[in-house]
Amino acid sequence: MMSPQEYVASLFDLTGHVGIITGASRGLGLGQAKVLTDAGATVYNLDLAEKSDEEEIREGHMIDVICDVTDYEKVKEAVAGIAEKEGHIDFLINNAGITYKCRAEEFPEDRLDKILEINLKTPYMMARICYPYLKESKYIGRIVTISSMAAYMGFTGVLPYDMTKSGVLGLTRGLAEEWKNDNILVNSVAPGWFLTKLNEGMFAQNPDRKAAALQKPMLPKFGEPVEIGYMMLFLLSGASTYLTGRDFPVDGGATVHGF
């Protein structure tokens, strides 16, 4: 018989689980992959990057698959190959996303189209492609998409990003409802301010923005990418079998901060 401590540990043991993360070569995606592989999962990173930023993670259970996630025929081939090799796919994390800073009245249409595709259409298409495999998972199939605090708050100069991240909440609710009887749980995670290479580059160009960002959350500090990973671990674990259709902010209290 398991002790209480052993039982709790078993809930978060992902040994034997196989899943896909899009855009896990760096930043938040890499932080998620670290946590999930440490928990025993095998993670396939679908990304255009040729290798992960941190090589040591590949000594565990992370496999890079060079793939343009907007080339859906190539994605189908890649996913089918993973399923054939592993025998099953148990989770999908839609992490890949992009933004571009420009006022709404001047926003380039080609940039708009690309943001709409990568941030919203691609998570939908990834879910469709993975659906036949996820519904057969012996662990319960899981889909988790990265949303954003921008789904709740307005930010100047990134309207298409705001639009798509709000759309992720609709995608999450809709898929959770539609696939509720198909052995799949669907949720999303809304990061706040995290010190990724993307944000560090932005802050280097505008130090005042960094100082302002620290005033937004209740907790006056930036998050670490592994902290998104901890939430992902919970949502993929045996501790979250009664959660679906919800968005989970990991934002230091930014979306509920008063004054």
Three-state secondary-structure class, residue 158: coil
Give the span between the Cα atoms of 179 and 185, in whole angstroms: 8
Architecture of the domain made up of 4-194+224-250 = 3-Layer(aba) Sandwich (3.40)
Tokens 């008063």, located at residue = 258
Out of 58-67, 101-110, 114-123, pick the least confident.
58-67
More confident site: 197 or 230: 230
End-to-end CA distance of the chain: 51
Per-residue pLDDT at 16 exceeds 90: yes
DSSP assignment of 223-234: BPHHHHHHHHHH
Neighbours of 202 (CB within 10 A): 15
Average pLDDT over residues 47-65: 72
Q: Which helix (H) or strand (E) holds 45?
A: strand 42-47
| Domain extents in the chain | 4-194+224-250
| Residues carrying an active site annotation | 161
Give the span between the Cα atoms of 88 and 65, in whole angstroms: 17
Query: What pLDDT digit, counting tens, does each position of 132-176 carry?
Result: 999 999 999 999 999 999 999 988 899 999 999 999 999 999 999
Contact 114, 47 (CB under 8 A): no
Give the span between the Cα atoms of 188 and 191, in whole angstroms: 10
DSSP letter (8 states) at residue 91: E
194: phi then psi, degrees, rounded to nearest 5: -125, 145
Average pLDDT over residues 11-18: 97
